[in-house]
Amino acid sequence: MEYFTRAWALGDLSDEECEKIEERYRSYVESLDPEGPVRRFVTSISLHDAYVDRLEYSEDALSLHLLTGDGQRGYWHTHIRYGGGQIILGQKDLERAVQVRPTEVWYDEFSDSPPRMVHRFLLLKPGTSKDGGEVHIAFDELAFSETPAAGRMLTEV
């Protein structure tokens, strides 16, 4: 992770250090095209505590299906399509997350890695606060959609 490291997530940094990191990420997000998909995603969807559901590969893309939301906002089936997507770190962690359910996304972030973008995740093992790994997905294009979910239940694998 570039911004929201494990040390940040665990509270191992001072309040001042955490604030600087959060401000740096806010500035980065604000520098993105306001109409672009990455900025729209960051400002409209929270993956915190999302359940990893499915991972699909096609010739030109990688798709990730998650169960997002909470009791106040409701739950959503969130589909993220990474055009030209490639898992550059943590492929086994992500594949295990699909099988060992419900693995949660702890924190996520986007950053530039020219000429591509990278979406990074910290994962938590099911029912614990234990490290479930870190995943980095490099991509050329991003698309996403949400459809309402009846609750916080994953389908069987």
Tens-place pLDDT, residues 26-48 = 999 999 999 999 999 999 999 99
> Do 53 and 32 form a contact (C-beta atoms < 8 A)?
no
Cβ count within 10 A of residue 19: 11
Q: What is the pLDDT of residues 96-123, one digit of tens each?
A: 999 999 999 999 999 998 889 999 999 9
Whether the CB-CB separation of 35 and 41 falls below 8 Å is answered with no
How do the domains of the chain map onto residue ranges? 46-149
Task: Give the pLDDT confidence of 41-87 residue by residue, as tens digits.
Answer: 999 999 999 999 999 999 999 999 999 999 898 999 999 999 999 99
Total-model pTM: 0.94
Q: Which two tokens stand for residue 25?
A: 């990420």
Query: Is residue 63 a contact partner of residue 82, using CB atoms and an 8 Å limit?
Result: yes
